[in-house]
Structure formats: structure tokens, C-alpha cells
């Protein structure tokens, strides 16, 4: 004989529903727990400043300086005597100093003697086209201009080799290069207007010193007149 169960008293009938409801409640509680936020409490202090509305300023008592009144003017005389003016007064006549276009002004200037000074004009002729090149000491025996040019250039190179000294600072730093020197042999045969251009200031100074040591020369001539003659030469500084 089989045992029959009443479906109303079956405990497993709604178990799945209760499981879903319980799971939903647990998830809701977990979500709220994760979203819960807490804030630090900070203590605030409120300070009150008591002020007095009635401020009374004490004004120091000052003393008034009494100035005595000025003296009264002298009284007018009781009797006024009228005196007749019998003296004659010469009036001064002031003449006008203004001039107009019709006024003629004449000035006489006496000149005793006028001295006219002649100013020598500096003439510069390039070394390559000058009629008579400057004569370097030791080149007087040559008569033609071409021979004197060659002798001049040889003497210049010989002078550079004798006076050449490599600057110690440039040598230690390994500085080398070519310095271009331009100078002027003026109408008196002296060396002037030395200009240098090179890779180092010490090399330029040494090249300028070499050219300054050049001797006085016979100045160059153009049409029988002493003139300035520019000349340029490169000086090479090379370390071996």
C-alpha cells in the first residue's frame, strides 16, 4: 500500500523561490555594504572677537599762542602844505632799435694779411701699379722697377723668417692657421695702419709685431711725388 503525501504540507514545494529571495537579499546587502561611505569628522573652532563700539579718542589739550597785534600806522598831520613844482625836468627820449627792410647795415672789417696754408693731399697707389715701388734697405743697387719689386718681396719674407716666434699659448693649445696682414708704407717710408685677420688673437698680435719691426724704407713715388703704398702679406703659423 503506497503512502500518499498532501501537496499542501510538502516542504520542498517553494524551496527554489525562497532560495532566489534569499540570494537577492544577500546581494542587496553586499551592494549597500560596498557603496557605504564614511567621512572623517573635523573639529571646527569658532572664535569670537569682542569689540567695543564706543571708542573715545583722547585729544591732547593744546595752548593757543597769542600774537600781539601790529602797531598802528602813524597819524596824518593836521595841516597839509601844498608846494608848487617850479623845477624843470629833462625828459629822456628813447629811440627805437627796431629795423625794417629799408634799413641798411654796413660793417667794415679790416684784414691785415691772409695766410693760405697748403694741405698735402694723401695719395695712395697700389703696389702692383706704382711707377717706383718703395725701396727696402739693401735693394738700392737695382735700377728697374721689376727688380726692386722682386727684391722687396724677398726682403719681406726674409724679415718674417727672422722675426717669427710662435706664441707659446697658441702652441700649447694647438692653434694654427694663416694670418693675413695689410699695412701701409706712407709717404715718409714708415710703416702704419697695420690690420690683421686670422684664426686666433695671439697669432694676429704676433703677425702685427713682425710687421711693426720692419725698417724704414724709401717711399714709393708716382709721377715724381712720394705717395702711400698699401701692401699685404699672409703669414702661416703651422705646428710640425
Task: State how many domains the chain has.
Answer: 1
Instruction: Examine residue 173 and state whether it is found in any structural domain, yes or no.
Output: yes
Structural domain of residue 181, as residue ranges? 145-237
Instruction: Examine residue 1 and state whether it is found in any structural domain, yes or no.
Output: no
Residue 231 has a pLDDT of: 92
Rounded Cα distance between 237 and 177, Å, is 5
Residue 156 phi, psi dihedral angles, 5° rounding: -65, -45
Residue 78 has a pLDDT of: 63
Residues facing residue 233 across a β-bridge: 181
Instruction: Examine residue 203 and state whether it is found in any structural domain, yes or no.
Output: yes
DSSP structure string for 111-150: ------PPPPPP-B--TTT-SBPPBPTT-TT--SHHHHHH
Q: The pTM is what? A: 0.49
Q: What is the mean pLDDT of the chain?
A: 78
**Residue in 208, 212, 202 with CA at minimum distance from that of residue 166:** 202
Q: For the chain, which residues score pLDDT lower than 70?
A: 1-13, 39, 41-64, 75-121
Instruction: Examine residue 55 and state whether it is found in any structural domain, yes or no.
Output: no
Instruction: Examine residue 54 and state whether it is found in any structural domain, yes or no.
Output: no
**Residue in 86, 129, 110, 237 with CA at minimum distance from that of residue 176:** 237
Q: What is the CATH number of the domain that holds 184?
A: 3.30.1150.10
Instruction: Examine residue 98 and state whether it is found in any structural domain, yes or no.
Output: no
What digits encode the pLDDT tens for the residues 177-199? 999 999 999 999 899 999 999 99
Q: Sort residue 61 into left (φ over 0), alpha (ψ -120 to 50) or beta.
A: beta
Instruction: Examine residue 199 and state whether it is found in any structural domain, yes or no.
Output: yes
The four Cα atoms 144, 145, 151, 156 give a dihedral, to 10 degrees, of 160
Residue 56 has a pLDDT of: 60
Q: Is 208 exposed, middle or buried (0-12, 13-18, 19+ CB in 10 A)?
A: middle
What digits encode the pLDDT tens for the residues 23-40? 999 999 999 888 877 767
- SS3 assignment, position 201: helix
Instruction: Examine residue 221 and state whether it is found in any structural domain, yes or no.
Output: yes
Amino acid at each position: 500500500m503506497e503512502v500518499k503525501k498532501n501537496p499542501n504540507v510538502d516542504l520542498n514545494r517553494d524551496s527554489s523561490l525562497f532560495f532566489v529571495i534569499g540570494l537577492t537579499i544577500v546581494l542587496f546587502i553586499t551592494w549597500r555594504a560596498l557603496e557605504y561611505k564614511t567621512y572623517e569628522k573635523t573639529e571646527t573652532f569658532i572664535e569670537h572677537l569682542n569689540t567695543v563700539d564706543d571708542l573715545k579718542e583722547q585729544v591732547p589739550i593744546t595752548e593757543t599762542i597769542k600774537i600781539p597785534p601790529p602797531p598802528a600806522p602813524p597819524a596824518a598831520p593836521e595841516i597839509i602844505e601844498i608846494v608848487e613844482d617850479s623845477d624843470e625836468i629833462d625828459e629822456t627820449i628813447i629811440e627805437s632799435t627796431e629795423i625794417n627792410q629799408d634799413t641798411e647795415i654796413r660793417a667794415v672789417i679790416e684784414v691785415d694779411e691772409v695766410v693760405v696754408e697748403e694741405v698735402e693731399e694723401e695719395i695712395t697707389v697700389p703696389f702692383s701699379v706704382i711707377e717706383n715701388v718703395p725701396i727696402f734697405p739693401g735693394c738700392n743697387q737695382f735700377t728697374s722697377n721689376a727688380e726692386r719689386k722682386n727684391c722687396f718681396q724677398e726682403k719681406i719674407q726674409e724679415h718674417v723668417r727672422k722675426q717669427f716666434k710662435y706664441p707659446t699659448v697658441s702652441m700649447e693649445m694647438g692653434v694654427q692657421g694663416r694670418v693675413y696682414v695689410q699695412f701701409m708704407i706712407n709717404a715718409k717710408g714708415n710703416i702704419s695702419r697695420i690690420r690683421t685677420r686670422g684664426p686666433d688673437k695671439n697669432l694676429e698680435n704676433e703677425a702685427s709685431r713682425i710687421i711693426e719691426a720692419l725698417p724704414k724704407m724709401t717711399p714709393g713715388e708716382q709721377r715724381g711725388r712720394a705717395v702711400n703704398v698699401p701692401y699685404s702679406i699672409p703669414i702661416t703659423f703651422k705646428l710640425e
